[in-house]
Chains A and B, each alone.
Chain A
Amino acid sequence: MLAVATGAVLLAMGLALVRAWAGPTVFDRILALNAFGTKTVLLIAVIGFLSGRPDFLDLALVYALMNFIGVIAVLRFSKYGHFGDHDEGETI
């Protein structure tokens, strides 16, 4: 049953990759990136249970946080053109 779930998550990751490749706007690509990151977290958790090594959950936890930071960073970059480390422009 867990193997079925692994296959389903991999299939959905492939679909998200297709959207990231074909997306007409940059926001479609960022959305696909976000969905891909969430599915990566789920894939790591399921594979950890499938192979009997639940220590993988720590990696999944780190991925969940990194995914959020990555999406916000890319959004800031696509909005302002820089990451906001200089004092030019106003910050959100």
Chain B
Amino acid sequence: MGPIVGDLIVVAGSIFIVIGGIGLIRFPDFFTRMHAGGVTDTFGAGLVLTGLAIQAGMSLITVKLLLILLFLWLTSPTATHALANSALEAGLKPKLDRQEEAPSS
């Protein structure tokens, strides 16, 4: 029971990873691509590492897996925030759906 459930969770996580990769290619603009990359960091890594932890059972390996997950979930939003901040300060504007009106005044 345990290994099968772990396998299914790992495969679900890898599906999310592929979805994030496809979004990284196909999204039109930098900030939307950042959103696609976030799918990989949260759902993909979370599901894959949780599935591996279920397969490993209660041991030191599970502790290491949860530690990797904790580091990823702490550092990845920080890196994403720094990246978005740096891109905005460098003058990169998000692509909007509606047409940008000329400044009125």
A interface residue numbers (CB < 8 A to B): 1-2, 4-5, 8-9, 11-16, 18-19, 25, 27-28, 30-32, 34-35, 38-39, 41-42, 45-46, 49, 54, 57-58, 60-61, 64-65, 67-68, 71-72, 75, 78-79
Q: How far is the CB of B1 from chain A (nearest CB, A)?
A: 14
Residues of B within 8 A of A (CB): 7-8, 10-11, 13-15, 17-18, 20-22, 24-25, 30, 33-34, 37, 40-41, 44-45, 48-49, 52, 55-56, 61, 64-65, 67-68, 71-72, 75-76, 78-80, 82-83, 86-87, 89-90, 92
Q: Does B75 lie within 8 Å of A68, measured CB to CB?
A: yes
* Contact A16–B75 (Cβ < 8 Å): no
Judging by beta carbons under 8 Å apart, are B72 and A5 in contact? Answer: no
Chain B interface main SS type: helix
Contacts of A2 in B (CB 8 A): 7, 10
B56 near A54 with CB under 8 A, answer yes
Q: What number of A-B contacts does a CB cutoff of 8 Å give?
A: 138
- What is the predominant secondary structure among interface residues of chain A facing chain B? helix
